[in-house]
Chain A
Amino acid sequence: MKITIPHMGNVYIAVKILFDGLGIDYVIPPLNNKEALSLGSKYSPEEICLPLKLMIGNYIAGIKSGADTILLVGSCGPCRFGEYSELQLKILEYLEYNVDFIVIDAVKSIGMRELFNRIQIVGSESKKRFPGKINSVIRAYNAMCILDEIESQAHFKAGYEKNKGECKRLLNSCKSEVLSCNQPDKALKILKEYQKRIKNIAVDYSKNPIKVAIIGEIYTVIEPFTNLFIEDVLMDMSVSTKRNLTPSWWLKDMLLKIIKLNSMKLLKASNEFLPLYIGGHARECVGEAVLASREGFDGAIQIFPMGCMPEIVSKAILPTISREKKLPMLSLIVDEMTGEAGYMTRIEAFIDLLERRREHVFAGN
């Protein structure tokens, strides 16, 4: 069995550490690129959301390098993500690729037993004993958490750094160094070292950079290829960004959802505008916008793929939050069109607006 996974931000690094630790054969498809996108949009339904198209591109690249099993997480609605496995399986069957799908689905829809069975299929490939397996899983989880922290630190400190571009350089060298390392213990050590380095980066807190919250649909905010590397662009502009949705947050959220203790602060903040779960991360998006205004952010950028059902609801709500909480917002809708200029102009204009707004005579009123 040779496993491949679809891309989502830095998840592949944690997955690599996990599979290296377990000793399971795997293929990490090349990072999302134009080829994956054009292959994906060729074979997927026209109106489906962008993540599915990119995933199809990833699978095809993975299969071509010898993968025969696809590992995917699932959900049980009401957002389209829950139906991905079904449709992707049909598409790959139609393309005459012979692959198995292992879908780590929500406990609610398949039951605890089936979930363990599915995890067992992957687990039985590993020759390690049970404690060793648990150890590898914990290590991979730790790696994911540290990586997310490094990333969020780098994104936030980009506005404060003394030497311009240092945060970005550090982040990039961290990723490439971890990826080239095949020993899980060593990889974790590298991550910890970078964690320290990013903590000790030279910053000047007297600066008062523009602070922007990145909110919206989880895949498009995490996967830089889909949002045209917006966080890198903002780092270059010396804008501090904060993004709440990360892979490690998602994992924690999924686990804590079982006992209903997940992201309490966020949900409490969203209660005023959207008191119920409507699928996807619409409620989180609304909550983050409210929190961003409370935490003194200058603005928020919402990103979602064309046609995303839950985010359309939150897009309808955001103008009210923007009005009531005096928080400028920009909605960016991404799809398989890769025209960059339109997005960059909008982002630049938005940041300009935030800067001028501060200098305005009514600023702070």
Chain B
Amino acid sequence: MRVGIPKGLLYCKYHPFFETFFHGLGAEIINSEDTNKSILNTGVKACVDEACLPVKIYHGHIASIKDQCDLLVIPRIMQVYRNEYICPKFCGLPEMVIHSIPDMPPVTLAPLYMHNKKSLYKWCISSGSAITRNRSKIKHAFELALKAQSNYKTGILDQKDITVMLAGHPYIVNDAFLNMNIVNKLKAKGIGIITEEFAPSSITETQIKKLLKKPFWTFKRNLYGASAAFYEQKKVHGIIYLSSFACGIDSIVVDLIRFHIGEFPMLVIKLDEHTGEAGVDTRLEAFTDMLERRVVNENNHPSHGQCLYSSQNSI
């Protein structure tokens, strides 16, 4: 039995679980390649036009491996925490894929609730039963998978003189092709990076409680909470928010963050299927230049209406 696990969307966060689980059941695992141009192109062709870039790329990943495997794992992640969804597109992901790509092998259709062990196990039974009927084998593989997942940590923590928070959905921050290698670009400029995973949970919680309504998206809780926490702590000098075009969640979260942080530097980069890097490079350069001047030369005072070196300035 060959099980295909596409390297798209939340693969970056939960791949130890899925890979260990299906490996434990004795299946051969087929991964798609890292995202590249041909995957992007097939994805854009197959997927419905209005979807966001990560979903399109996910379609590309699936199209690239669907002929090589007997079962495709398309996790329909409904909830990661209790009463918190990911996004409607995740809830309907298997349907989107099945109806967009012809000649699909069997896929995992069961909903995946990850907020407790019991419902997670339910998904494992329904997905694993396509491979083996042996319950104890499933149980064993499940335990191994949980262990592998709990040992796996994601996120970037690299603090320097100037540090920015790299915000964005995990599948954008961790996919070097999708985000145009922004992590390395920032590193080359000597800018430190910190991601949402390293926000202290106590401050995040207090910031979340200040909201009118308890968030029902995990991404909103993580991204808004972490940005607000870093801002309150004065731990970062700016925020770079990576967002994909037409992302429903970001259209709300970005503005909520903006309303919270006011004049604090924030750069929002919208990504879509265009792959020209120059625009992103220019914006990144301008933003880091601005941060440098703010931090190094002007001691955090607003630069509006002031000259850099006023004593030397002839005007």
Contact = CB atoms under 8 A, between A and B. Distances in A.
Interface of A: 45-49, 74, 76-80, 82-83, 85-87, 89-90, 93-94, 101, 103, 105, 108-109, 273-274, 276-280, 282, 306-310, 312-317, 319-320, 333
Interface in B237-251: 245-251
B96 A109 contact: no
Given A83-B252, A307-B246, A313-B88, 5 more contacts: A46-B251, A109-B83, A280-B88, A310-B92, A317-B96
B214 interface: yes
B89 A309 contact: yes
Interface string B77-117: 01000010111110110011001100000000001000000
Nearest to A93: B259
Contact of B213 (A49, A78, A85, A333): A85
B50 A315 contact: yes
Contact of A78 (B50, B86, B251, B255): B86
Interface residues of B, number: 39
A170 to B, nearest CB: 37
B48 interface: yes
Contacts of A317: 92, 95-96, 99
Interface string B282-313: 00000000000000000000000000000000
Contact of A313 (B89, B214, B246): B89
Contact of B259 (A49, A90, A274): A90
12 contacts: A49-B251, A78-B91, A79-B248, A82-B216, A83-B220, A86-B213, A89-B212, A101-B212, A109-B216, A312-B96, A313-B96, A316-B100
A86 B257 CA distance: 12
A78 B217 contact: yes
A305 to B, nearest CB: 10
Nearest to A307: B246
Contact of B92 (A77, A108, A274): A274
B30 to A, nearest CB: 24
Nearest to A275: B109
B315 interface: no
The 3 A-B residue pairs with the shortest CB-CB distance, nearest first, are A78-B85, A77-B216, A313-B92
B51 interface: yes
A94 B91 contact: no
A312 B48 contact: yes
B211 interface: yes
Given A45-B254, A316-B99, A333-B50, A306 B92 contact: no
A80 B256 CA distance: 13
Given A78-B216, A320-B99, A278 B91 contact: yes
Contacts of A46: 251
A76 B83 contact: yes
Contacts of B251: 45-49, 80, 307
Greatest chain A CB density within 10 A among B87, B100, B245 is at B87
Nearest to B213: A86
A167 B213 CA distance: 44
Contacts of A314: 92
Given A78-B217, A86-B211, A282-B88, A316 B95 contact: yes
B50 A306 contact: yes
A255 to B, nearest CB: 21
A78 B87 contact: yes
A78 B220 CA distance: 11
A282 B90 CA distance: 13
Given A48-B252, A78-B216, A87-B255, A316 B96 contact: yes
Contact of B111 (A49, A276, A316): A276
B88 to A, nearest CB: 4
Contacts of A273: 95, 99
Contact of A316 (B48, B215, B245): B48
Contacts of A48: 251-252, 255
A22 B298 CA distance: 60
